[in-house]
Structure 1
Amino acid sequence: MLPENLLTRRAAILMRSFISGLMENWLFAPQSFDLKKEARAYVTILLEMYQLCPTLRASTVTGSP
């Protein structure tokens, strides 16, 4: 479950960067890692980042980033 105070715009930009970066790295050097085998782990990493990263949360005191 994602936090209620997740900064969704920032999270969306981060997701796009994360996915496009993975794809770029894999397309440039497909032998460097097995994208199909590791895809689930990369999704888990992204979700954990959303859940645990304090800079992806709106301040509960001020209600702003």
Structure 2
Amino acid sequence: MTFSVRLKGEQTAVAISSETPLLDDEGQVKAVRCPAAGCGALVDLINGRLDRHSMLGQECHTSGVPVVVGEG
């Protein structure tokens, strides 16, 4: 699986995961691993965006950013 994350004012980051994403009953991706270096948390996707989550006791900088998920 590959997915890309675009942070405000930055290029799109592409992450590749060997894990299968968590899917809902309709086959839509509902959770992925956070691509931020040092994070890797399993994060829910809400309306195509990473849900708020913490890294090292602070909110991860990828919280709320849009995610594009595809086969890869």
When normalised by structure 1's length, the TM-score is 0.26
* Larger of the two Rg values belongs to structure: 1
Structure of higher RCO (CA pairs closer than 8 Å, 6+ residues apart): 1
Which one has the bigger helix percentage?
A: 1
